[in-house]
Copies of this chain bind each other. A is one copy, B any other.
């Protein structure tokens, strides 16, 4: 583990650690007098297994394919709770796609989005992650911070140059 930083307090070795996520969620539910239903537990487990970005539909399909039926309404409800519990964060990369991610997984990277083809890439930059995390903002308690870099990927750029004019999509 040569990459582990000394000052990285709260270091979570595996960002998709289901047990750890579960216990945080259970704690949150207990604290707020909410019920620990099978649906809630199963949805969180499913999220941990996806290991990456997900949307409501993807989650619904995955759960169906695991023979666990749950309504979309419950998925929305559970994600809302998970966001309140600071376990999940929301991303919106383009108009019609809201995607979510485990906060512990999102904390280490930033997003590079191509305006042409919409591809989302993740980049790591320790310096900026640390700087942003330690940023003090007046009258505000930071919980999570997210950076999006928009531009044109090399593939689209190549296409642009060879068409001499920019492709609209």
Q: Chain A: residues with CB nearer than 8 A to chain B?
A: 31-33, 83-84, 89-90, 92, 95, 98, 112, 114-115, 121, 123, 125, 128, 131-132, 135, 137, 139-154, 157, 165-166, 168
Q: How many copies of this chain sit in the oligomeric assembly?
A: 2
Chain B residues whose CB sits within 8 angstroms of the CB of A145 once the complex forms: 147-150
Q: Cβ of B92 and Cβ of A92 under 8 Å apart?
A: yes
Cα A135 to Cα B151 with chains together (Å): 12
- Contact: B95 with A98, CB < 8 Å? yes
Closest to A98 in B: B95
Contact present for A152 and B140 (CB under 8 Å): yes
C-alpha spacing A146/B168, complex, angstroms: 22
